[in-house]
Copies of this chain bind each other. A is one copy, B any other.
């Protein structure tokens, strides 16, 4: 039974941690040497250049201007100042709408918190049920419980307040959700409408082109669309299976990094030429001269790449039965993407082409039947992952003890037997397998989405986010509320009636309030403050800078701006929505903690999005329907739990009143789905026609074919033929978007734009040699 003092202590510690992080950040970001870690977005935009160009030697690395330290919290108003339209221009609609999720949290929970504290807290507090039961049953309770629903007597008429509040909260949440859905849908449509010409506006991805003995795929595609879309078909680009080529190119890049590393090492210490082992991870195998070895390897790979490139271009086996088909008008593309082409609905599947940089090339060649089998397998795999992951983790943990390590790696014995290290290992190891599992979980989920065959990075992330949310809901939320592993719970829930489950959860909810308050403070407050520090990118950047960077271009490549990380970030926010909605009626004291999280996270992520993150793709907020859907499901869950709780409080008569809530909420969801979702999955012909007409009037002599010709070539071809060409081409869109630099963005504006752009940032992490 935590008291106010306990909570206060925990809050103090976490506020302190958060403050330390924020101060550390405020200091570190002012050091010129860290400039590329904390402002990479501006470098990528070409609006900021390395501070090494000017000034004294010391000031290159350390900021000696004491005045700048006084204004160390300036980043907060800076982050908030940029207006939304400019933010959309600067970072894309995805990022701007992502921030709106935090804002939505504030919009929902600020009035809910005010109402709850104005009405529910007094109603709970002025009761004396707990005091009475303390006197009679010697039941321990704390002040926090006095504020919660637990302080209301069994069957008391005061529960009417809670019912009315549940209705009020539901209506407010739905009202806000609807308004937000409308806003986001309009933002999306406006964004799409105001965009300059982009290849994906004219293009459709066609899959499952049926094989034809007399025609090649490209002939077959051309004939089909010439016949069935005679007025609008323009050109097409067949998809080539260049996965092996891409792998070779990636390998060459990694070897090149190693070569750089050894060369720098050698140039610093010319007495000994670096040596390396050729075997697994450089740990075993024969010793060779590292520079010679890597040079030879790179040569070998270059040759192989050239061969493979030739083979891919000529071998018909590498031509996939898929193509990007481009049309003369947006109208033509919109029509083709939304209609069924062939009698057999599994052939000639058409859908909107994603942005070129959003395309996930590896999955373009998966046939239809295989797709449904893959989904089945992944669904089963995810079920087992969610409910049985604890088993392999436990097995690994049973091996990972000191004796186990000594047995398997006897050479480590002398080190391990040192008492301090031994106790350290024994203290850390038991949890480490679980920790590692949780760290790699997002990657596992991402891999699952890839196996399922989604075609764009954005849809992969959306899918992974959904799975991550479900995993969190079961293994973080439910497991914390009801004791026992997920598997045990599945077993016990299966044996319970549909009535009992909400009761069990409902009764446990108020008791776990303090646990979740602590969770919010650790994960939400300190965690978000830690996010702004960017410790990992900071360390990696400086390591790279020291070991690999030879030219200015290398330094640009060493920056790791990262991205929002929708697949991990959004499920985290959703967990807070769930907690907030569940506790709103039950334990209103919980709400301020959630509010602090939403406010802090909003500021931090706004700062990061403006200064750091470089989004890899632009899906025009295609994720909003799932965000909306998950909040709705959390709302329904909270209503069911409240129903369960009420029925154990001797208020079964409230059940019919409360059951109306989920019914209405689901109805509201269906209404929103019908009203707003089409804006996220279809493209209205009216819009397309309007843009076509405008464009025809503005640029009557546009050579669209030239523009679209190479838009959808596998990046590996563009990348290697001519690096500069590739990037120019790739950024065709952002070049179109004339970017007006504003004053507040950067201290040192450079007029010449940088060549580097976000397009290649996905491959950046791979540049790091694994052992660095």
| A679 partner residues in chain B, CB cutoff 8 A | 343, 345
Binary interface encoding of chain A residues 474-507 relative to chain B, with 1 for a CB under 8 A from any of its CBs, else 0? 0000000000000000000111111110000000
Q: A339 at the A/B interface (Cβ < 8 Å)?
A: yes
Interchain CA distance A404-B29 in the complex, whole Å? 91
Contact A686/B343 with A372-B670, A372-B671, A671-B372 known, Cβ cut-off 8 Å: yes
A499 to B498, CA, bound (A): 11
In-complex Cβ contact of A675 among B229, B346, B376, B496 (8 A): B346
Q: For A682, give its contact among B189, B345, B372 (CB under 8 Å).
A: B345
Is A674 at the interface (CB under 8 A from chain B)? Answer: yes
| Interface residue A391 (Cβ < 8 Å from any Cβ of B) | no
**A674-B343 contact given A380-B663, A663-B380, CB 8 Å threshold:** no
The contact string, 1 if C-beta is below 8 Å from chain B, for chain A 635-653, is 0000000000000000000
A335, CB-defined interface residue at 8 Å: yes
**Contact indicator per residue, chain A 366-385, by CB within 8 Å of chain B (1) or not (0):** 00110010011000100000
Copies of this chain assembled into the complex: 2
**CB proximity to B under 8 Å, residues A327-363:** 331, 334-335, 338-343, 345-346, 348
Quick one: which of A231, A331, A684 has the most chain B CB within 10 A? A684
Q: Is A284 an interface residue (CB 8 A)?
A: no
- Tell me, in angstroms, the Cα distance from A376 to B664 when the chains sit together: 9
Q: 0/1 per residue, A225-240, Cβ < 8 Å to B?
A: 0011101000000000
- Contact between chains at A338 and B341 (CB < 8 Å): no
Judge whether A334 and B339 touch: CB under 8 Å. Answer: yes
In contact, A678 and B339 (Cβ under 8 angstroms): no
Q: Does A308 contact B (CB under 8 A)?
A: no
Residue among B189, B335, B494 making CB contact with A497, cutoff 8 Å: B494
- Complexed CA–CA distance, A495 and B338 (Å): 46
Q: A318 near B: Cβ within 8 Å? A: no
CA distance A437 to B339 in the complex (A): 45
| Contact residues in B for A376 (Cβ distance below 8 Å) | 663, 667
Inter-subunit contact A345/B675 (CB<8 Å): yes
Query: Scoring A residues 495 to 533 as 1 if CB is less than 8 Å from chain B, else 0, what string do you get?
Result: 111111000000000000000000000000000000000
A577 within 8 A of B: no
Question: How far, in angstroms, from A674 to B346 measured CA to CA in the complex?
Answer: 8
A682 to B: closest C-beta gap in Å: 4
Complex-state Cα separation, A682 to B346, whole angstroms: 13
A345, B678: Cβ atoms closer than 8 Å:
yes
B residues near A686, Cβ cutoff 8 Å = 224, 227-228, 341-343, 348
Residue of B nearest to A689 (CB): B228
Chain B proximity of A180: nearest CB distance (Å): 17
Q: Is A683 an interface residue (CB 8 A)?
A: yes
Which chain B residues border A89 with CB–CB below 8 Å? none
Per the bound structure, the CA–CA distance linking A497 and B492 in Å amounts to 9
The answer, among B338, B369, B493, B683, for a CB contact under 8 Å with A338, is B338
In-complex Cβ contact of A674 among B339, B348, B372 (8 A)? B372
A685 CB within 8 Å of chain B: yes
| A675-712 to B contact mask, C-beta < 8 Å, 1/0 | 11111001111110100000000000000000000000
Bound Cα distance from A164 to B715, whole angstroms: 52
Q: In this complex, what residue of B is CB-closest to A383?
A: B663
**Which chain B positions have C-beta within 8 A of A493?**
498
Of the residues B341, B497, B676, contact of A684 by C-beta under 8 Å: B341
A664 to B, closest residue via Cβ: B376
Chain A 160-202 against B: per-residue CB contact (8 Å), 1 yes, 0 no? Answer: 0000000000000000000000000000010000000000000
Instruction: Name the one of B335, B348, B499, B671 contacting A495, with C-beta atoms under 8 angstroms.
Output: B499
Please give me the residue from chain B that is nearest to A678 by CB atom.
B345
- A663: chain B residues within 8 A (beta carbon): 376, 380
Cross-chain contact B684 with A342 (CB below 8 angstroms): yes
Task: Please report the C-alpha to C-alpha distance between residue A231 and residue B368 in the assembled complex, in whole angstroms.
Answer: 34
Residues of B within 8 Å of A372, CB to CB, are: 667, 670-671, 674
- Interface contact A682-B340, CB-CB below 8 Å: yes
Q: Are A339 and B689 in contact (CB under 8 A)?
A: no
Q: Which residues of B contact A341 (CB under 8 A)?
A: 684-686
Which of these, B338, B500, B674, contacts A340 with CB under 8 Å?
B338
List A372-429 residues whose CB lies under 8 Å from chain B: 372, 375-376, 380
Query: Which one of B335, B495, B500 contacts A339 once the chains associate, using CB atoms below 8 Å?
Result: B335
Whether A339 contacts B682 by the Cβ 8 Å rule is yes
Which chain B residues lie closer than 8 Å to A342 at the CB level?
684, 686
Q: In the complex the two chains form, what is the Cα distance from A338 to B339 in whole Å?
A: 6
**A521 to chain B: closest CB distance in Å?**
37
- Rounded to whole angstroms, the CA-CA distance of A496 and B501 in the bound complex is 11
Docked Cα-Cα span, A228 to B663, in Å, equals 39
Contacts of A677 in B (CB 8 A): 345
Which of B338, B343, B496, B684 is the one whose CB lies under 8 Å from A343? B684
Nearest to A495 among chain B residues (CB) is B497
Return A687 CB to nearest CB of chain B, in Å. Answer: 6
A728 vs B667: C-alpha distance when bound (angstroms): 46
Q: Are B498 and A340 in contact (CB under 8 A)?
A: no
Chain B residues contacting A345 (CB-CB under 8 Å) are 674-679, 682, 684
Distance between Cα atoms of A689 and B226 in the complex (Å): 11
Complex interface: chain B residues within 8 A of A335 (CB): 335, 339
In the complex, what residue of chain B is closest to A671 when comparing beta carbons? B372
Residues of B within 8 A of A343 (CB): 189, 679, 684, 686-687
CB nearest to A670 among chain B residues: B372
Q: Return chain B residues, CB-CB under 8 Å to A369.
A: 671
Which residues of chain B are within 8 angstroms of A685 by Cβ–Cβ distance? 228-229, 339-341
Cross-chain contact A684 with B338 (CB below 8 angstroms): no
Complex Cα spacing A109 to B451, Å: 38
Residues of B within 8 A of A348 (CB): 686
How far, in Å, is A466 (CB) from chain B's closest CB? 17
Query: 0/1 per residue, A450-489, Cβ < 8 Å to B?
Result: 0000000000000000000000000000000000000000
Q: Are A340 and B683 in contact (CB under 8 A)?
A: yes
Residues of B within 8 A of A689 (CB): 227-228
A348→B229 CA distance, assembly (Å): 24
Contacts of A678 on B, CB cut-off 8 Å?
A: 340, 345
CA distance A674 to B368 in the complex (A): 9
Shortest CB–CB separation between residue A672 and chain B, in angstroms?
Answer: 10
What separation, in Å, do the CA atoms of A341 and B687 have in the docked complex? 8
- Minimum CB–CB distance from A377 to chain B (whole Å) comes to 10
Q: Which of A380, A671, A677 has the most CB of B within 10 A?
A: A671
Q: Which residues of B contact A495 (CB under 8 A)?
A: 497-499
Complex A-B: 11 CB contacts under 8 Å: A228-B331, A228-B686, A334-B339, A335-B335, A340-B685, A343-B679, A345-B677, A345-B684, A493-B498, A497-B497, A498-B498
Ordered nearest first, which 6 A-B pairs have the shortest CB separation? A345-B678, A340-B682, A338-B339, A376-B667, A495-B497, A340-B684
Q: List 15 extra interface pairs beyond A345-B676, A372-B671, CB under 8 A.
A: A228-B685, A228-B686, A228-B689, A229-B685, A338-B338, A339-B684, A340-B682, A341-B686, A342-B684, A345-B678, A345-B679, A375-B670, A376-B663, A495-B498, A497-B497
